[in-house]
Amino acid sequence: MEHIDIDHDGRTLRGVLHLPTAPNAPAVALCHGFGGNRAEFGYTFVRLAERLAARGVAACRFDFAGCGDSDGDFADLTVSDQVAQALAVLDALAAHPAVDPDRLSLMGMSLGGLTAQLAAAKRPVRSLALWAPAAGAVAMGEEGAKRRADAIAEHGYDDFGGLPVHQGFVDDAAGIDPFAAAAAYPGPVLLAVGSEDFVLGTRLLGEYQGLYGDRLDLHVFDGVGHGFETVPARERLVELTASYLERTA
């Protein structure tokens, strides 16, 4: 494992790169969720990266700007900026001497999943893995959008699980169609979601099925929510994803 710093828009994005012993390895960029960090819930990104490296696939865990150890202000977070950061990470991986620049993949959780699906449409990545992607963050229903607007008008931000969502995020999201903007990606997709997920509901799941069609490898985890909140579910999630990325990277 080596530390990696990536310059982007005057900020340093900080991460770690898990490398296999063999040279010229395929590589995956792991995109964490809203307000998270490169370890992800239950250290699942650490476990996934270690498992991938043991199977010959390099894995880069990094903190988005304003999160974890990276530079930046969390208040400035937008989806478009995160997509640009993910592309910068892919470029850094392509330039790394231990990585095969023609065998790059993307993986993301929640808002990181939305980020990954949008970034995959802008680079020739080999495969895409999504954990509970938060397309609803830019495709909110009318009721949710009004509640958020009222909260921002009153407090200056919307309190989302103890983290602030600012007007800049909302303005950026208004210009993003999460499915039309992702349609250019032609490769395979792994999608894992809990049956009780409040973020990725039936309507949005149907949109993903329509978007990716027979390229979609869908896995619904019964009895868990957005964070795959049991030990068995998280172990299954890590192993499923590691096997998929080993096969498709």
Average pLDDT (62-82) is 96
**Cβ-Cβ contacts under 8 Å for 64 (sequence gap 6 or more):** 13, 31, 32, 70, 72, 77, 82, 85, 112
Give the residue-averaged pLDDT of 139-160.
Answer: 88
Lookup result for tokens 């270690």: 50
Angle, helices 79-95 vs 111-120, to 10°: value is: 60
What are the tens digits of pLDDT across the range 44-58?
999 999 999 999 999
For residue 242 the two structure tokens come to: 């590691």
Residue 193 has pLDDT above 90, yes or no: yes
**28 beta partners:** 59, 105
- In this predicted model, which residue has the larger pLDDT, 161 or 15? 15
Burial of 108 (C-beta count, 10 Å sphere; 0-12/13-18/19+): buried
Domains of the chain by residue range: 2-139+177-248, 140-176
pTM: 0.94
Q: Average pLDDT, whole number, for the chain?
A: 95
pLDDT category at 235 given cuts 50, 70, 90 is very high
pLDDT of residue 145: 84
- Per-residue pLDDT, averaged over 2-7, amounts to 95
Confidence band, pLDDT 50/70/90 cuts, at residue 141? confident
For range 173-187, the mean pLDDT: 95
User: Dihedral, CA atoms, 51, 86, 66, 32, nearest 10 degrees?
Assistant: -30
pLDDT at 90: 98
Report DSSP letters for 158-212, one per residue: EEETTEEE-HHHHHHHTT--TTTTTTT--S-EEEEEETT-SSS-HHHHHHHHHHH
Is domain 2-139+177-248 classified as CATH 3.40.640.10?
no
Spatial distance between the Cα atoms of 83 and 115, rounded to a whole number of angstroms: 5
Question: pLDDT value at position 69?
Answer: 96
Cα angle value 241/32/47 (rounded, 5°): 45
* Residue 137 one-letter amino acid: A
H or E segment at 220? strand 216-221
